[in-house]
Amino acid sequence: MSGSEVFADGLLAGRVALVTGGGTGLGRATAAELLRCGASVVIAGRRADVLEATVATLGEGAGYVAGDIRTEAGAQAIVDDAVSRHGRLDILVNNAGGQYFVPAEGIELKGWRAVWRLNLGGTRRMCEASLPALRAAGGGTIVNVTFSPHNGLPGMTHSGAARAGVEGYTRELAAELFDDDIAVIAAAAGHFDTDALDKYPPTVRAQTAGGVPMQRLGRPEEHAWMVALCASPLRMALSGAVLTVDGARDNFYGGWPPAALTVGEGEVPTEERRPPATR
Ligand X SMILES: NC(=O)C1=CN([C@@H]2O[C@H](COP(=O)(O)OP(=O)(O)OC[C@H]3O[C@@H](n4cnc5c(N)ncnc54)[C@H](OP(=O)(O)O)[C@@H]3O)[C@@H](O)[C@H]2O)C=CC1
Ligand Y SMILES: CCC/C=C/C(=O)SCCNC(=O)CCNC(=O)[C@H](O)C(C)(C)COP(=O)([O-])OP(=O)([O-])OC[C@H]1O[C@@H](n2cnc3c(N)ncnc32)[C@H](O)[C@@H]1OP(=O)([O-])[O-]
Contact positions toward ligand Y, by CB under 6 A?
98-100, 102, 108, 110-111, 114-115, 118, 191, 196-197, 204, 208
Residue of the chain from 124, 125, 191, 235 that contacts ligand X (CB under 6 A): 191
Identify which of residues 38 and 217 has a Cβ nearer to ligand X in the complex: 217
Residue whose Cβ sits closest to ligand X: 25
Query: End-to-end distance of the chain based on CA atoms, in angstroms?
Result: 72
Stretch of 3-11, 57-65, 105-113, 187-195 lying at the interface with ligand X (CB under 6 A): 187-195
Of positions 4, 15, 19, 27, contacts ligand X by CB under 6 A: 27
Name which of 37 and 166 has its Cβ closer to ligand Y.
166
Single out the residue of 194, 224, 231, 241 in contact with ligand X (rule: CB under 6 A).
194
Residue nearest to ligand Y (CB): 98
Name, in order, each residue with C-beta under 8 angstroms of 109's C-beta and a sequence gap of 6 or more.
none
| CA 88 – CA 17 distance, rounded (Å) | 9
- Report what 69 binds from ligand X, ligand Y, none; CB cut-off 5-8 Å by kind: ligand X
Query: Any bridge partners for residue 19, and if so which?
Result: 43, 93
In the chain, the amino acid numbered 107 is: I
Q: Cis peptide before 213, with omega less than 30 degrees from 0?
A: no
CB 226 within 8 A of CB 187: yes
Compare residues 108 and 176 and give the one whose CB is closer to ligand Y. Answer: 108
Q: How far is the CB of 181 from ligand X (least distance, A)?
A: 26
Spatial CB neighbours of 156, under 8 Å, sequence gap ≥ 6 = 99, 101, 147
Residue 42's φ and ψ, nearest 5 degrees, are -115, 125
Q: Which of residues 111-140 bind ligand X (CB under 6 A)?
A: 118, 122
